[in-house]
Chains A and B, each alone.
Chain A
């Protein structure tokens, strides 16, 4: 007994609780090829669906002839809008209050739009039949440029009543979606007009795509005997899908079971509801057999949700000494053919109004105009909270441009404008309450870690050497300081399709002292099974290795809004901690009974309750769990279970300081990232190894976006980047080495002080890479060059600056 009291360190280690670099339990099956993804699901009698898609970006559909396709052996059905219309499923609501065609209803509005759905006994037959469907199109004028679309006579959305309000207020043109504004416009303009220094710039964050390794897909199985629909799919929010499926189909919610199996990356791409899901369900209802639909890579890139595509026109004003006095921003947001952004209902531009960044800016205004064009719909948060990466890129570019205007060091400009530690909780000019932060400490640590002053000296020497003709390589120091806003969100102002954005956890402790916990979220690679078990281990005293985490089955998991926007740890993580505390509260009563003392006389210690002042008298959680089920305890009902639904009081505000050091070859446009330093402050750190993995992954996606990844269209509306030959995904060859670091400023309102981290590296990484490119050419007067900074575009910067003469 004495031994067990003394070996506290060993007991803590055995627990593998918070702070421990526990290895990911998921990796055992993933690294052995034993994952279970949607495409691994094979049901008896399962049919296969495939889409006929539009080759045109804008055309009228004059006729669809399915005869030849139906005549092909093995084809079971070909669905068109006409077949879906009686069910009112030829259109569906989007997450942004707009509606979207499920199958082309009279016209097509983007290349790759779904026109007909072929169902066949075999995937190959389905593909062959797609080629046999004859569609007669009449080409219409194509609008690719949002600035042109907002003026054009060409009407894209003939289904919308002219002059009628949209979901977010008045529409001033037939291709206009909404104008959304925040802040004090008049006051901001007044400050800027009378400012000592003003910097103005158009900052474009190009259209890109989350491109998860596993594309989107679903298997729908309608059991006509029991009236139950089971839907397996790549869903980042399975519970929301169930509710939406019920509302759309009229099938009662208890008769729908939605299952998200293993998901091979989501990054926002799997938040939305796609025509493929709807068509699989309808096809299964029509045929009475399970129907699988899995898109290919081209379909994923050209038709499922894109990200970004924000033209951000900014004005920032300051005193001659560099103190920022105001920020003005107008965004032209290209939403494509339908407004299918995945944002909380109240915020059609997401949390873009976090664009005052990490700086104390007294007055600000932001206006966002949403515009329809002939491009794929979407506008999802690609590894970021809603539109936060756009906001961070915008402010971090504006700071650099202002630094040029002031002829000031950009690191110093940031330092003198940071929100000070004593200002938290900080009320921003655009309406957010930043919960906590210590920016100066993080910045100083980052700059001293990379040897900032030496880097600047080296850079200045390099410029001189370049001018003397001794080198053709310039050096850029890319700075980025970002504040994320994650953990959506408080139900009072955050909902999706009316569903409040709380989350949940349900725990059952088994009699032998192991446990299962289920959550309303769903891991897509984040490692929930690893980290949530660690939270529970610390909170309940049950070793993480004895806790199963299960998510994604709506029949068993408690309702939750899913995983995106770094919300799992801030919201479901909080629910998990609180559910764990409920378990602990009951365990305390049981322990006191077993030790024959009062409840207040025992205290929790790692994995047990001990008698205060006499730690040799204790009951372990294992003993308590057994007693909970098998011993009649007066006044306490049997069992040891808890449920917690958590409505966060505020968002969390993780932040970080990144520095990228890059050599740029002026003649070839190639870059060499010599050093990348990433300091993240995500509050309490649950698993340092998982955090590091998340940061590495996020930085690599940031590298991709900043340096080459884009969804590009030609004038005809052809998607030019529909394959991985043209769409840049970094491999080990392009990926630099990363140095990660941290400070720890716990969130004051989160039960364990955690803030979320998965998306920070993307939010902070993109400006760091882009600023490094810009900084390399700062000495030659470059103010703004749009991403992605591929070799050709960098070569072009150099050429335009006359560096090839």
Chain B
């Protein structure tokens, strides 16, 4: 499953990059994120409640960040275990491009799912993932937008 989209963030590129690395901001953006803790510069631990169709589950997992191509690129790789609901793993490549005072954020994400999620939700997974990803970056844009206004 692949997800690709772009969104304009009303903030300079450096600020966007820093925010992407801020667990507090990320936690506010990720739909259903109950906990996001950083335990090294590039490793995070997350707990997310996810609902796909009839399956609702608490996923706990690890996220690894790759900052080697900063400040234009940012990528992450994660996997989560949702118990009887199944498991998910995936990654995202984020590219940042200056657009005047704003920043154009492009993301290219892929995910693999297994277990009950894959069985019951297979028809819904693509649309749900798309919706969740869109919501994540929309939240992100809003937070940075508010920051600039205030």
Contact = CB atoms under 8 A, between A and B. Distances in A.
Given A56-B115, A716-B112, A726 B122 contact: yes
Nearest to B79: A139
Contacts of B81: 137
Given A111-B115, A716-B112, A55 B120 contact: no
Contacts of B112: 716
Interface string A44-57: 00000000110111
B114 A56 contact: yes
B118 A720 contact: yes
Interface string A236-257: 0000000000000000000000
B119 interface: yes
Contacts of B87: 55-56
B71 interface: no
A298 interface: yes
Interface in B118-148: 118-120, 122-123
Nearest to B119: A722
Nearest to A131: B84
Contacts of A56: 87, 114-115
Contact of B114 (A131, A718, A722, A725): A718
Nearest to B86: A55
20 contacts: A52-B84, A55-B84, A55-B87, A55-B114, A55-B115, A56-B114, A56-B115, A57-B114, A111-B115, A131-B83, A131-B84, A137-B81, A298-B120, A714-B118, A718-B113, A718-B114, A718-B118, A718-B122, A723-B120, A726-B122
B122 A53 contact: no
Nearest to B85: A55
Task: Please give me the 8 A-B residue pairs with the lowest Cβ-Cβ distance, nearest first.
Answer: A55-B115, A718-B118, A722-B119, A55-B86, A716-B114, A131-B84, A718-B114, A55-B114
Contacts of A717: 114
Nearest to B112: A716
Contacts of B73: none
Contact of A720 (B83, B84, B86, B119): B119
Given A55-B84, A56-B87, A720 B115 contact: no
Interface of B: 81, 83-87, 112-116, 118-120, 122-123
A719 B116 CA distance: 9
A717 B86 CA distance: 12
B115 A722 contact: no
Given A302-B119, A722-B120, A726-B122, A130 B84 contact: yes
Contacts of B123: 725
Contacts of A53: 84
A722 B114 CA distance: 13
Interface in A706-741: 714, 716-720, 722-723, 725-726
A134 interface: yes
A723 B55 CA distance: 13
Contacts of B85: 55
Contacts of B122: 718, 720, 726
Contacts of B83: 131, 134-135
B15 to A, nearest CB: 38
A726 B119 CA distance: 9
Nearest to A130: B84
Contacts of B84: 52-53, 55, 130-131
A80 to B, nearest CB: 15
A56 B112 CA distance: 12
A111 B113 CA distance: 13
A539 B126 CA distance: 64
Interface string A98-137: 0000000000000100000000000000000011001101
A72 to B, nearest CB: 14
B3 to A, nearest CB: 18
Given A716-B112, A718-B114, 17 more contacts: A55-B85, A55-B114, A55-B116, A56-B87, A56-B114, A57-B114, A111-B115, A134-B83, A302-B119, A716-B118, A717-B114, A718-B113, A718-B115, A718-B119, A723-B119, A725-B123, A726-B122
A719 B114 contact: no
A720 B115 CA distance: 10
Contacts of A718: 113-115, 118-119, 122
Nearest to A715: B112
A131 B114 CA distance: 16
A137 B114 CA distance: 13
Interface string A744-774: 0000000000000000000000000000000
Contacts of A714: 118
Contacts of A726: 122
A726 B120 CA distance: 9
Contact of B119 (A52, A130, A298): A298
Contacts of B113: 718
B57 to A, nearest CB: 8
B120 A111 contact: no
Nearest to B116: A55
Nearest to A723: B120
Residue of B86, B113, B122, B123 with most partner-chain A CB within 10 A:
B122
Contacts of A52: 84
A362 B113 CA distance: 52
A723 B120 CA distance: 7
A54 to B, nearest CB: 8
Nearest to B113: A718
A134 B81 CA distance: 10
Nearest to A721: B119
A437 B120 CA distance: 48
Interface in A266-319: 298, 302
B51 to A, nearest CB: 14
A136 B112 CA distance: 19
A137 B80 CA distance: 12
Nearest to B117: A55
A211 to B, nearest CB: 15
Nearest to A136: B81
A723 B122 CA distance: 11
A53 B83 CA distance: 10
A135 B85 CA distance: 12
A717 B113 CA distance: 11
Contacts of A298: 116, 119-120
A740 B148 CA distance: 78
Contacts of A302: 119
A137 B123 CA distance: 26
Contacts of A137: 81
Contacts of B115: 55-56, 111, 718
A379 to B, nearest CB: 22
A728 to B, nearest CB: 15
B121 to A, nearest CB: 10
Contacts of A725: 123
